[in-house]
Amino acid sequence: MDTLFEDESRSGADAELEAVQAALYRLDPTGDRVATVIRHTLDQLYDGANTGRYCFDQLHKTEKTHMGTLVEINLQREFNFNDGDVTDYRIAGAQIDCKYSMSAVWTLPPEVVGHLALLVTANDARSTWGAGILRITEDLLNSGRNRDAKATLSKIGRSQIRWMWRDHPGLAPNLFLQLDPMVRDRILSGRSGQARINELFRSVQHRIIRRAEVMTVAQQLDPMKRVRGNGGARQHLAKEGIVILGHMGDEPLMAERLGYSRPRSGEFIAVRQEEIEAPATLPVSKTFEVKLTSCSGPASSEMFK
């Protein structure tokens, strides 16, 4: 399937569900805050600065299981939800549990039956995510139970989810899953953190590189130092005609004038010196061709704006 989501068929009126949905839309009208939490949680779990990992498949089984707990915790920190009595949260006065599944196959404990659930999923390779609300009832669960009496949401149950953000394209891209594997390996095989950072900005130009990606490549204390001008990549790559723009001063505006995304705090974008010197006459490529890959190889290709 090209999407994680089943066709939506809204259930009947549910005053609590409607109230929770309205409250969440007030807190996050576009879904960008939830998307930021999911991106942060994935990066937190990969822990690339210490492990060099960048992909969900590289995690241990226990770590994958922990993803749901981290999403729950980080959403509560972001939105300051009240604790529920038998569920994770209380939103708009309603008890609501939070469940995350990378594959959109949610496993639900018996205590959530009769209550609302905030169901969250994401596809890091495609930079999409989704979140919806459902009142959990026995008839929406598959009949099988595991030893903890938990059951998975049935196909009928998935069709009843009230999607708030569905197949949302706002998850910040995972650079390492979009690079050609040969380029990725060349970047990560450098003998030192500085050599790897230099190769990162040499090989990846005209697209945003996030702080977590810099940390994964550097794997050193003070990884951002490896980007700076005083002995870092900015100084090293200037000799090759490569300029690294960040979030300070007029650099974000400069990136935007060249047709690229503005770097935000902790973000960078590499461009060519000649683009800055002659932006009005030099043809500038505004697309970065990427290959959606697994941890081990290519999956498909598309253009990333």
Residues forming a β-bridge with 130: 121
Is 75 found in the same domain as 209?
A: no
Model pLDDT, residue 297: 55
Identify the domain containing residue 273 by its residue range: 175-304
Query: What CA–CA distance (Å, rounded) separates 131 from 153?
Result: 15
Q: What's the Rg (C-alpha) of the chain?
A: 22
Residue 62's domain is classified under what CATH number?
A: 3.40.600.10
- Confirm if 172 and 166 have CB atoms less than 8 A apart: no
pLDDT at 100: 96
Our CA dihedral for 253, 284, 236, 197, rounded to 10 degrees, sits at 80
Answer yes or no: is 231 within a domain: yes
Question: Would 10 be classed as within a structural domain?
Answer: no
- Is residue 126 domain-shared with residue 81, that is, in the same domain? yes
Residues 69 and 197 in one domain: no
- pLDDT tens-digit series, residues 90-135: 999 999 999 999 999 999 999 999 999 999 999 999 999 999 999 9
Considering the domain architecture, whether residues 196 and 158 belong to the same structural domain is answered as: no
Residue 98 has a pLDDT of: 97
Domain boundary among 168, 199, 230: 168
Residue 196 shares a structural domain with residue 297: yes
User: Half-sphere exposure of residue 248, counting CA atoms within 13 Å on the CB side?
Assistant: 3
Is 147 within the bounds of a domain?
Answer: yes
Claim to verify: residue 73 and residue 204 sit in the same structural domain: no
In a domain, 290, yes or no: yes
Residue 231 has what pLDDT? Answer: 86
8 occurs within a structural domain: no
Examine the domain organization and report whether 218 and 253 are in the same domain: yes
Looking at 119, 136, 168, the residue that finishes a domain is 168
**Domain check: are 222 and 125 in the same one?**
no
Structurally, how many domains does the chain consist of? 2
**236: CATH:** 1.10.10.10
Assess whether 138 and 155 both reside in one domain. Answer: yes
Residue 122: inside a domain:
yes
Nearest alpha-carbon partner for 132 in 31, 27, 42, 12:
31
Could you give the CA distance from residue 70 to residue 78 in angstroms, rounded to a whole number? Answer: 12
- Residue 3 inside a domain? The answer is no
The list of the chain residues with pLDDT below 70 reads 1-12, 279-294, 296-305
* 189 and 140 both lie in a single domain: no
- For 11, residues 6+ apart whose C-beta sits below 8 A from its C-beta are 134, 135, 160, 162
Same domain (yes/no): 129, 239? no
Q: Tell whether 9 is covered by a domain.
A: no
Q: Which of 135, 152, 168 is the last residue of a domain?
A: 168
Say whether both 19 and 163 belong to one domain: yes
